[in-house]
């Protein structure tokens, strides 16, 4: 459903890194906008997407910051995925791009 060598990594205190995939590297036809939205004080306003592949539907499994804060504009056109979907990702150190570490360390 998604493969990228241009992903962005966001580091947050007390959370594992979150990897964001550019929209161009995702089969967007599998993402269905959900009604669920929220606000992160660090990154901005986001909306969730359900993932639908064949007869499988995973509610609120992806999200996108449609109105990011100035420090996170770099992920505006990218999507994050819930951690258990990323479990099989092979992430090469050279492909990671840390955007910002937020919170206290």
Q: Within a domain: residue 21?
A: yes
pTM as predicted: 0.79
* pLDDT at 87 (0 to 100): 45
Structural domain boundaries, residue 82:
8-92
**pLDDT by position in tens, the chain (length 105):** 888 888 898 887 777 888 899 999 999 999 999 999 999 999 999 999 999 988 888 899 999 999 999 999 999 999 999 876 654 444 444 444 444 444 333
Question: What is the CA angle 46-47-51, rounded to 5?
Answer: 135
* Measured torsion, CA atoms of residues 105, 79, 76, 104, in degrees rounded to the nearest 10: -10
Domain count, the chain: 1
* pLDDT at 3 (0 to 100): 82
Read off the CATH number of the domain in which 15 is found: 2.170.150.40
């Amino acid at each position: 459903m998604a493969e990228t060598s241009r992903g962005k990594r966001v580091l947050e205190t007390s959370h594992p890194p979150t990897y964001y995939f550019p929209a161009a590297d995702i089969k967007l036809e599998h993402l269905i906008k959900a009604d669920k939205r929220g606000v992160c004080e660090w990154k901005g306003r986001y909306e969730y997407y359900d993932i639908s592949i064949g007869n499988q539907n995973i509610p609120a499994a992806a999200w996108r910051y449609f109105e990011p804060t100035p420090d996170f504009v770099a992920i505006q056109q990218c999507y994050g995925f819930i951690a258990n979907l990323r479990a099989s990702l092979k992430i090469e150190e050279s492909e990671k791009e840390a955007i910002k570490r937020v919170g206290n360390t």
